[in-house]
Chains A and B, each alone.
Chain A
Amino acid sequence: MGRYWRTLRRFWGTAVAVQLEYQANVLIELLAVAMSLSGSLFLLSLFYGPDQTLGGWSWAQALMVQGLYTVFDGMATTWLRPNLGAIVTHVREGTLDFVLLKPIDSQFWLSLRTLSPAGLPEIGLGLGLLAWGSHQAGVVFTLSSFFTVLVMLLAGGLILYSLWFLIAATSIWFVKTWNATEVLRALLASGRYPLNAYPPALRLLFTLVLPVAFLTTVPAQVLLGEAAAPMLSAGLALAVLFFAAARAFWLFALRFYTSASS
């Protein structure tokens, strides 16, 4: 375990060093995050006049959902996109060989090799938005609500990671899977509005097939006291299930890997 921890520190140390090699890039990414967030807030505000609701959600409550979405989007930028996007490159260029020849778990390497600090402000902004929206919506902060948020974020992050990793792992067969990850990102974007804002068919899809609902709407509901604690456990169970599936699928995919020809 100590070896993995030391490796992780080296991974992220080098990742930050790479980012700092390109200072301008960091600034541009920060700018892009600010623009994207203000854009989506503006869009959200269009739905709301005074005292209006969207699918039964008030402005403040919708902001909570938007905050949660922003946190996950930041997670994707910081963690998922740089790492899982690189899997495709590894397969295409045959450098996956180097990863597989290291005496370390290949999924660990591929999932945590790098880190893009550009998404960190987004995560911060999202958390701020969540806190502010919760305050406005009259959520009383307690230790248990704090704990709830933490667990839901972890579970949501794990679900998102597992889905993304599953798609990235298929690149072993199809080599090119950018399109599929783009679809996933678009689906994640559907999580920026409360679930009730969608038609019932989509609601079903987002809950049962692609659990986007568990990323944003359900945590907000739990915080608002509208969904009971069992939902929390359901989210956690779902996260464990998805992670186990991703793991099993990776081990299966590796058996088929024949490595790109030199």
Chain B
Amino acid sequence: MIQVEGLSKIYRVAEKQPGLAGTLRHFIRRRTRDVTAVQDVSFRIEPGEMVGFLGANGAGKTTTLKMLCGLIHPSAGEVQVAGHRPQRRQAEFLRRITLVMGQKQQLLWDLPPMDSLRVNAAVYGIPDAVARRRIKELADLLELGEELTRPVRKLSLGQRMKAELLAALLHEPEVLFLDEPTLGLDVNAQARVRQFLAEYNRRTGATVLLTSHYMADITALCPRVLLIHQGRLFHDGPLEALADQLAPEREVRLELESPVSADDLAGLGRLEQLEGCDVRLLVPRDQLTAVVAQLLDRFPVRDLDVTDPPIEELIGGLFRQGRV
């Protein structure tokens, strides 16, 4: 459904020194600099897949998403979405995709969502009867009722986002690009949006590419994850594989009956901490069971705990270290 081959985007940005002098200099002679937002990214997404798109702010997620929608022309590389080249923005292509942006809205602020929905129905050439049926179906799924007839400005953020989703899905797109669809929502509203997306995907078989800052969105919805860092594709595969790649070791915490020395623990993973009876070891995943068995065998263990660092922290740490 989506094929991306060697995709790159280079922006030309203005460079301006701070202060009045810098502004004046900038006004007279503009200096620009090329910034590579996306570099040589390739991937394929099959019909019906739900794929999570991860990356820190400025990693190139939104730029990639916009190239897939046809809003930005790629500097290099080939993109095919639903059999079309997005940058040509043919009507036939636009009818088959949708873009939801958590921080921008298309609904008219002063009017009930229903009015915006009617405009969209006309724009997409959906007959009134069909539009009414679809609105009802989607509203049921989204648990929207009389909110659709209340001015948008009087809706809560969660209600507004759900109405935005309805507006974006009225034309039954086959490919959904979702850019931070749960941004700023409370935990309940996030969960409801997630449930809806999963259900929508199940019912319609739509292909979904989702970016989110909330790891829960990704873990709940996306068996497959693309991780982009500094414009490059860093990982493409299951989320667990990413965890393995980022953190090949697991942490084993021990509480012993009696103190041990560091020498006693040699060969049982990497010693992180040793304070009397409390021990913290980092053990490669593939040796975990063997090491745990040995530990239990050789020491008087009072308590043993194996933890997996949360993926969120791993990715966060990765970005902080700039390790990629």
| Interface set of A (CB-CB < 8 Å, partner B) | 3, 6-7, 9-11, 13-14, 17-18, 21-22, 93-95, 97-98, 100-104, 109, 255, 257-259, 261-262
Which chain B residue lies CB-closest to A261?
Answer: B62
| Interface set of B (CB-CB < 8 Å, partner A) | 11, 62, 66, 69-73, 89, 91-92, 94-95, 97-99, 101, 103-106, 108, 110-111, 115-116, 118-125, 151, 179-180
Contact yes or no, A95 B104, CB < 8 A: yes
Instruction: Give the residue of B73, B111, B125 whose beta carbon is less than 8 angstroms from that of A255.
Output: B73
Determine the main DSSP class of B at the interface with A: mixed
A96 to chain B, nearest CB (A): 9
Which chain A residue lies CB-closest to B103?
Answer: A262
For the A-B complex with A7-B123, A95-B105 known, give 6 more contacts whose Cβ atoms are closer than 8 Å. Answer: A17-B111, A17-B115, A18-B108, A18-B110, A95-B104, A97-B99
Contact yes or no, A14 B108, CB < 8 A: yes
A residues within 8 A CB of B69? 97, 101
Contact yes or no, B115 A14, CB < 8 A: yes
Q: Would you list the 10 A-B pairs with minimal beta carbon distance, nearest first?
A: A103-B91, A103-B94, A7-B122, A98-B106, A10-B122, A3-B125, A6-B122, A10-B119, A14-B115, A18-B110
Contact yes or no, A21 B106, CB < 8 A: no
Instruction: Give the residue of B71, B92, B118, B121 whose beta carbon is less than 8 angstroms from that of A259.
Output: B71
B residues within 8 A CB of A262? 62, 101, 103-104, 179-180
**Cα–Cα distance between A98 and B97 once the two chains are bound (Å):** 12
Instruction: Give the residue of A13, A14, A95, A104 whose beta carbon is less than 8 angstroms from that of B106.
Output: A95
Contact yes or no, B72 A259, CB < 8 A: yes
**Provided the pairs A18-B110, A261-B62 are in contact, do residues A103 and B95 lie with their beta carbons within 8 angstroms?**
yes
B94 to chain A, nearest CB (A): 4
Contact yes or no, A258 B72, CB < 8 A: yes
Q: Return 14 A-B CB contacts under 8 Å, by A number.
A: A11-B119, A17-B111, A21-B111, A97-B71, A98-B106, A100-B70, A101-B71, A101-B94, A102-B94, A103-B94, A103-B95, A104-B91, A104-B123, A262-B179
A residues within 8 A CB of B121? 10
**Cα–Cα distance between A100 and B88 once the two chains are bound (Å):** 11
B residues within 8 A CB of A95? 104-106
B231 to chain A, nearest CB (A): 14
B residues within 8 A CB of A7? 119, 122-123
Which chain B residue lies CB-closest to A5?
Answer: B122
A135 to chain B, nearest CB (A): 42
B283 to chain A, nearest CB (A): 41
A residues within 8 A CB of B106? 95, 98
A125 to chain B, nearest CB (A): 28
**Cα–Cα distance between A98 and B108 once the two chains are bound (Å):** 12
B residues within 8 A CB of A257? 71
